[in-house]
A and B are shown apart, each in its own frame.
Chain A
């Protein structure tokens, strides 16, 4: 008998989901015990359409070649002391934020997708999740290897995993992913594959990678381009997952809507750190947060994606309008928070130079001069006993119970005031930075009361290297526990700055 002619899709089915079988010696529920409690109903896994068709052997070849190129470029950068040709050592502070905040999330994503690969009963999406788990391990390791060289010459890179678990501002990204991996497999894949990868990746990645390119950071730029082919697989998976779940059963629609509402706001709050980076921390700027928000979120996601999802009964995320209202405030609020607490951070901040303030005023004509410029003007004069000849907020801030960012978000409707919300739950008061975070809390209070809030933990005495000898010793003991060495304070009193000047003083500057 001659062999049948098979289409590529049929062949891929045989290569992947054809391997699966219905167990008869045990119940399927015992193999996949976490598949039902979220309430998602799947009528037919066979309706799953593979977002990409990749066999393992093709994956090996393709990925090995991409990495060969990446490591060749990285090695060249290292050998040629490429770090010396960065635009300015200030640039590296955004990479410090990335390596402390995002790289550990890549790792968590790797483990999270391994969970989906193990526990989703559908062999089609499981296979896609498996490849993504591999990819995320790749991203973790490439980023660590790129940071390794910077770590040899600059502060802020030496303890990323340790810091990710402990340092106050890193609880923002950490709690985000902890939230996702403690959810069930369906919520996880909706949160990460759809809400993050599909809706937010461009907003995070494109500015980062262009920022790297503008500022001479070849390894980050190379990684970014090389990761893009992974990312495009991840994005198509995200869209496929959501459409599949929506098509499977009408009861899934309100559940997915709730997850989209939640994870939009969760992810949006997380990317506000990117906003601060784009507008304040890149010596050479690419585009403003507002511009990129308008392009990637308002035009592509709101006008594109959510129009497309209307026919499934899905509307745009609940608090999207608030994000739009905030777009001229967000990055300024967040940088001001980072700036104020830099004495306890593993990166440096600085007062924007005059021409940078001009840029900010031009990009934000309705807000920067009106609500933010004066803060930096005052900050120059408000001296504290700490290094840096400028203002720091010496004290511990109130954190939002959900996103864990200090409560410093301007109310766009009343720009002289911050938004403050609270909820009483089982006799305790919980504080929120926004209606979005408050709403998320109210959906699952039993989850969010568990949050490991860095400030509360300091008050509880859980964050000291040794018991403080007096009130003046509190912050030093916390910093020691964080393993913050010479990583903090203003850039212009940092070792990074001192070394950078030293390394460049006997170099001829050639203008070409």
Chain B
């Protein structure tokens, strides 16, 4: 036996419209699910114990980075991603990837890639799964040590995208023929030994030892991503098409879209950091000096790729490609009003 109430149609006035801390910030209005899921969620004070793994810091601490904000929630994700909307968006994006794999398998397109191009592709593309993986590790660190849920949540989702990228490259690799033996073992060897990757790998390994999460974001999102994505997914993809291989353009567009999507929060964050009323100038100094270093390094590192442009039958012009990449990077830095010497 259960008691049920027959509810008459009546409106019950809510006692409050939102959580108290959101009312204090935004005034007397309802909050969005993004705001509820994000703003002021991270613990702030009265931590009981200090970390045993690092001296002189609190569990959450603004001093994990030189970059600081007066109010860490002055940054909000322009995409308004919280867990559900993030996963739903990505699940939907990926549907087209699944369909494309189906299509390629049906037509046997992966087997039809010419041996010539396969050699090029295996050299510059498959090893990138290690680079994406390193991005995942780095962004997990930002998700742990960053300050404020709005920032760390974006880093977490970005980390997830990076891991997904590494796995998508892997999935492509699984489909390709292996005339020269295990494609992934070869790719790891290339990553570890081939000259085209060594400056890049050195850069990444050094970045993996950096503790400051702000510096990590500069090195990864503002430098690696800004150079590698246009180089690989635009310039080298163009070269593939010129050599009659258009199979991978779909994936390149997908990876590039992913990159652009993550640049939305990245650019917004740096905009907010630079505009901070108290820390803006200090932030600018730090960002400009670090970015000059990292962008300079990455710019040099990708020069090794000129070798790749010489490999195919129809050779590419690395100089032009590099100019385009630099133009792209400078556009982004210019938009942020950053003075960066590459």
Chains A and B come from one and the same complex: yes
Residues on A lying within 8 angstroms of B by beta carbon are: 1, 3-4, 11, 14-15, 18-21, 23-26, 30-31, 33-34, 37, 55-57, 59-61, 63-65, 67-68, 70-71, 81, 84-85, 104, 107-108, 110-111, 114-115, 117-119, 126-127, 130, 133-134, 137-138, 140-142, 144-145, 148, 151-155, 157-162, 164-166, 171, 174-175, 178-179, 181-185, 447-448, 450-452, 457, 483, 495, 499, 503-504, 506-512
For A453, the closest partner residue in chain B by CB is B48
Interchain CB contact under 8 A, A148 and B49: no
> Which residues on the A side are within 8 Å of B208 (C-beta)?
23, 26, 31
Known: A63-B87, A161-B43. A144 touches B48 (CB 8 A): no
Chain B residues positioned under 8 Å from A55 (CB to CB): 167
Q: Chain A residues near B181: list those with CB within 8 A.
A: 1
> Quick one: given A1-B181, A183-B52, are A483 and B20 in contact (CB under 8 Å)?
yes
**Which residues of B (201-248) have their CB < 8 Å from a CB of A?**
201-202, 205-206, 208-209
Q: Are B166 and A19 neighbours in the complex by a CB distance under 8 Å? A: yes
> Which residues of B66-115 have CB atoms within 8 Å of chain A's CB atoms?
82-84, 87-88, 90-92, 94, 97-98
Task: For B141, give the chain A residue with the smallest CB separation.
Answer: A118
Most buried by A among B59, B149, B168, B209: B209
Beta-carbon contact of B191 and A21 below 8 Å: yes
Residues of A within 8 A of B53 (CB): 33-34, 37, 119, 182, 184-185
26 contacts between A and B (CB under 8 A): A4-B182, A11-B174, A15-B167, A18-B188, A21-B191, A25-B205, A30-B209, A31-B209, A60-B90, A67-B87, A71-B84, A81-B12, A84-B12, A108-B43, A111-B60, A111-B144, A130-B163, A134-B156, A137-B83, A142-B84, A151-B19, A155-B15, A166-B46, A171-B48, A452-B48, A507-B7
Cβ contacts under 8 Å, A130 to chain B: 136, 140, 159-160, 163
The distance from the CB of A90 to the nearest CB of chain B, in whole angstroms, is 15
A1-B177, A118-B141 known; A179+B167 contact, CB < 8 A: no
Given contacts A162-B20, A507-B6, contact A134 B47 (CB under 8 A): no
* B16 contacts A by Cβ under 8 Å: yes
B288 within 8 A of A: no
The answer to whether B133 touches A64, judged by C-beta atoms less than 8 angstroms apart, is no
B2 at the interface (CB under 8 A from A): yes
Q: Are B43 and A182 in contact (CB under 8 A)?
A: no
| A104 to B40 CA separation, bound complex (whole angstroms) | 11
Assess the B16–A158 pair: CB atoms within 8 A.
yes
In the bound complex, how far is the Cα of B21 from the Cα of A153, in angstroms? 16
Q: Which of B133, B152, B160 contacts A19 (CB 8 A)?
A: B133
- Categorize the interface residue count of chain B: 35 or more
Query: Is B184 part of the binding interface, using a Cβ–Cβ cutoff of 8 Å?
Result: yes
Bound Cα distance from A265 to B92, whole angstroms: 44
Q: Is the CB of A21 within 8 A of B17?
A: no
Question: In the complex, given contacts A111-B152, A145-B36, what are 4 additional A-B residue pairs having Cβ atoms less than 8 angstroms apart?
Answer: A111-B144, A152-B15, A174-B48, A182-B59
Residues of chain B within 8 A (CB-CB) of A161 are 21, 40-44
B88 surroundings in chain A (CB, below 8 A): 64, 67-68
The 10 residue pairs across chains A and B that have the minimum distance between CB atoms: A19-B133, A152-B14, A56-B164, A64-B91, A141-B37, A114-B144, A178-B48, A67-B84, A158-B20, A34-B53
> What is the chain A residue whose CB lies nearest that of B46?
A452
Residues of A within 8 A of B205 (CB): 23-26, 31
The answer to whether A111 and B49 touch across the interface, beta carbons within 8 angstroms, is no
Beyond A18-B184, A64-B84, is A510–B41 a contact (Cβ under 8 Å)? no
Which single member of A1, A59, A507 contacts B5 (CB below 8 Å)? A507
- Evaluate contact between A151 and B16: CB separation under 8 angstroms: yes
- List chain B residues, Cβ under 8 A from A183: 52
Q: A432 → chain B, closest Cβ, in Å? A: 16
B50 interface contact, C-beta 8 A? yes
| Residues B192 and A24 in contact, CB atoms below 8 Å apart | yes
A111 contacts B143, C-beta separation under 8 Å: yes
Pair A159/B19 contact, Cβ less than 8 Å: yes
The number of inter-chain residue pairs (CB within 8 angstroms) is: 264
How far does the alpha carbon of A71 sit from the alpha carbon of B88 in the complex, in Å? 12
A-side contacts of B37, CB under 8 Å: 140-141, 144-145
Assess A184 versus B16: contact at CB under 8 Å? Given A60-B94, A512-B4. Answer: no
B130 within 8 Å of A by Cβ?
Answer: yes
Question: Which residue of the partner chain, among A33, A63, A117, A144, contacts B36 with CB atoms under 8 Å?
Answer: A144
A511–B19 Cα gap in the complex (Å)?
A: 36
Using CB atoms, name the residue of chain B closest to A179.
B49
Measured CA separation A153–B12 after assembly (Å)? 9
Residues of B with C-beta under 8 A to A185: 53
Contact of A118 among B18, B49, B140 (CB under 8 A): B140
Cα separation A114 to B140 with both chains bound (whole Å): 6
Residues of A within 8 A of B171 (CB): 15
A495 to chain B, nearest CB (A): 8
A141 to chain B: closest residue by CB = B37
B contact residues around A24 at 8 Å (CB)? 192, 205
Are A114 and B143 in contact, CB atoms less than 8 angstroms apart? yes
Q: Cβ of B178 < 8 Å from any Cβ of A? A: yes
A184 and B52 form a contact (CB under 8 A): yes
Question: Which residues of B line the A interface, CB within 8 A?
Answer: 1-8, 10, 12, 14-21, 31, 33, 36-37, 40-54, 59-60, 82-84, 87-88, 90-92, 94, 97-98, 129-130, 132-133, 136-137, 140-141, 143-144, 149, 152-153, 156, 159-160, 163-164, 166-168, 170-171, 174, 177-182, 184, 188, 191-192, 201-202, 205-206, 208-209
Question: Chain A residues with Cβ under 8 A from B133's Cβ?
Answer: 19-20
* Residue in B33, B163, B188 whose beta carbon sits within 8 Å of that of A56 in the complex: B163
Q: B132 — which chain A residues lie within 8 A by C-beta?
A: 19
- Measured in the bound complex, the distance between the Cα atoms of B174 and A185 in whole Å is 33
User: Least Cβ distance of A336 to chain B in Å?
Assistant: 25
Report the Cα distance A448→B52, complex, angstroms: 12
Q: Which residues of chain B are within 8 angstroms of A33 by Cβ–Cβ distance?
A: 53
Residues of A near B59 (CB, < 8 A) are 178, 181-182
Min C-beta distance of B132 to chain A, whole Å: 8
Nearest Cβ on chain A to B128's Cβ, whole angstroms: 11
Q: How far is the CB of B194 from chain A (nearest CB, A)?
A: 13
CA distance A184 to B54 in the complex (A): 10
Cross-chain contact B19 with A148 (CB below 8 angstroms):
yes
Alpha-carbon separation in the docked complex, A183 to B49 (Å) = 9
Least distance between B280 CB and chain A CB atoms (Å): 27
Known: A18-B184, A130-B159. A510 touches B43 (CB 8 A): no
Tell me the complex Cα distance, A133–B142, Å. Answer: 13
Residues on A with C-beta less than 8 A from B192 are: 21, 24
Q: Which residues of B contact A14 (CB under 8 A)?
A: 170, 174, 184
Q: Chain B residues with Cβ under 8 A from A160's Cβ? A: 19
B201 to chain A, nearest CB (A): 7
> In the complex, which residue of chain B has the Cβ closest to the Cβ of A457?
B46
Q: Which residues of B contact A137 (CB under 8 A)?
A: 83, 153, 156
Let me know if B94 and A508 touch, CB within 8 A: no
Q: Please tell me if the beta carbons of A165 and B36 are within 8 angstroms of each other in the complex.
A: no
Q: Could you say which of A18, A63, A111, A152 contacts B16, with CB atoms under 8 Å apart?
A: A152
Q: Is the CB of B209 within 8 A of A3?
A: no
A151 to B16, alpha carbons, bound, how many Å? 7
CB distance from B145 to the nearest CB of A (A): 8
Q: How far is the CA of A133 from the CA of B152 in the complex (A)?
A: 12
